[in-house]
């Protein structure tokens, strides 16, 4: 099975379950990130979601390694943000590189983590999450909760 996200935290990295989000925010980004956090922290839900996602990978992508440079969790977070915000790749790149809570959800530490997502890498790695696929994930997730 492909690695979703390494379980060993790096220095300064926040466990996804412990990321603090503003409960009072009316913006859509914290709501999307809260949903991703919930999926990540419930083992059964995470397994169902990633089993469904792995079925969408093209045959040319190695299921153990995927595309170079991005884990399945990273591509899922970015694709979910893109779909949920109905944004273009330029905004998605800005969020991935500059938004603190998005970076924490991607698994980056606040301390000397120089990971920078190039636009073409995001375009190449963004899975083709269709409305049908998201509905299937939603259905699988709602059966778990």
What pLDDT is recorded for position 117? 93
Q: Is the pLDDT of residue 31 over 80?
A: yes
Whole-model pTM: value is 0.79
Q: What is the average pLDDT across 17-32?
A: 85
Structural contact between residues 124 and 73, judged by C-beta atoms closer than 8 angstroms: no
What pLDDT is recorded for position 24? 82
What pLDDT is recorded for position 45? 84
Residue 85: Cβ within 10 Å count: 15
Query: What are the angstrom distances between the C-alpha of 59 and each of 54, 55, 56, 66?
Result: 10, 9, 9, 10
């Amino acid at each position: 099975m492909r690695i979703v996200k390494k379980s060993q935290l790096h220095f300064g990295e926040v466990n996804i379950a412990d990321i603090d989000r503003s409960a009072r925010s009316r913006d859509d980004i914290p709501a999307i990130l809260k949903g991703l956090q919930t999926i990540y922290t419930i083992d059964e839900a995470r397994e169902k979601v990633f089993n469904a996602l792995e079925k969408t990978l093209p045959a040319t992508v190695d299921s153990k390694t995927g595309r170079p440079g991005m884990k399945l969790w990273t591509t899922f977070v970015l694709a979910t943000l893109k779909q949920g915000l109905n944004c273009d790749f330029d905004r998605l790149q800005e969020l991935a590189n500059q938004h603190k809570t998005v970076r924490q959800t991607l698994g980056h530490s606040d301390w000397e983590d120089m990971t920078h997502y190039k636009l073409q890498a995001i375009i190449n790695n963004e899975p083709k999450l269709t409305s049908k696929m998201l509905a299937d994930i939603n259905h699988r997730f709602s059966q778990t909760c």
